[in-house]
Amino acid sequence: HPGRLRAAAKPSVADGKDLKYNLILSHLFYKDSGKEDIDLAFQLGTEKQYSVVTDAAVTFILADGSEISLPQTRDEVNFIYLYPSLPQLRALAYGQVTDLRIQTEDGTLTDAILDDSFSKALNQQYQLLMSLSAR
């Protein structure tokens, strides 16, 4: 698509109690409309196979008790693909994600995030993408 600019941050890793998360944030900007989209993708670092089907709920629990739940957008194994709004992304990046709940075909995968690493990784990538898109 000629009117589309895409910037992707280098992957960074967040640590959970049970799994590692390899995060990749992408920012798409459409020149003709001035609209922008954010893609948040992350891989579950585990030998175990978790099947996460389209529309399965991926829920982030924040330190203040609030939750942000987003639908998985593809049928994948150990790979999550989400389209958060900018306000949702900011809440994830500037808040503190303490726990993750992922609906899988075998039930709900729940993991505690260590050392605020999920929000820190997202925050770094978000800052980088915003500085790139400001040019």
Q: Please report the pLDDT score of residue 120 as a whole number.
A: 97
* pLDDT over 60 at 94, yes or no: yes
- Which region among 13-17, 23-27, 53-57, 127-131 has the lowest average model confidence (pLDDT)? 127-131
Distance separating alpha carbons of residues 124 and 122, to the nearest angstrom: 5
Q: Please report the pLDDT score of residue 134 as a whole number.
A: 63
Q: Long-range contacts of range 25-28, CB-CB < 8 Å, 24 or more positions apart? A: 25/89, 25/122, 25/125, 25/126, 25/129, 26/129, 27/129, 27/130, 27/132, 27/133, 28/4
* pLDDT over 80 at 126, yes or no: yes
Q: Between 5 and 39, name the one with better pLDDT.
A: 39
* pLDDT over 60 at 8, yes or no: yes
Which class for 134: exposed (0-12), middle (13-18), buried (19 or more C-beta within 10 A)? Answer: exposed
* pLDDT over 80 at 132, yes or no: no
Q: Please report the pLDDT score of residue 1 as a whole number.
A: 63
Calculate what percentage of the chain has a pLDDT beyond 70: 96
* pLDDT over 70 at 135, yes or no: no
Q: Mind listing the pLDDT tens digit for each residue in 27-84?
A: 888 888 988 889 999 999 999 999 999 999 999 999 999 999 999 999 999 999 999 9
